[in-house]
Amino acid sequence: MATKPQNHVDTFENPHPGRNYEIVFDCPEFTCLCPLTGQPDFAQFKIRYVPDKLCVELKSLKLYLWSFRDLGAFHEDVTNRIANHLIETLSPRSLTMEAEWNVRGGITTTVVVRHPNPEC
């Protein structure tokens, strides 16, 4: 059976809910489309979170990120959409998502989302 993109992430119970520990995912092959030109945009995501009751199942994260491949989205929007989805699904104690976007027009972009927001 072939795998397909999916619009959700699967979870499993945190095996050590009484401990604060950090999980880090490096996702170096993220792609979506520029909403203005339709050309591909490439990014490397680093997702760091401290789980509470739930953890992310890795294959489902890969399939979820794949679902953005044909989507036109600005860097700021897609980074926040993915972070919001993970926060809503996991309710983590903390989450930081850093997206380093490849150069486009001589400019690189880095978008960082932090939860909870230390500014609030």
CATH architecture of 11-115: 2-Layer Sandwich (3.30)
**41 has catalytic annotation:** yes
Annotated catalytic residue: which of 34, 52, 77, 120?
Answer: 34
Q: How far is CA 75 from the centre of its chain?
A: 12
Domain ranges of the chain: 11-115
pLDDT along the chain (120 residues), means of 10: 88 97 98 95 98 97 97 97 98 98 92 83
Global confidence as pTM: 0.93
**10 has catalytic annotation:** no
- CB 13, CB 54: distance < 8 Å: yes
Predicted pLDDT at 3 = 85
Predicted pLDDT at 27 = 97
Distance CA 89, CA 91 (A): 6
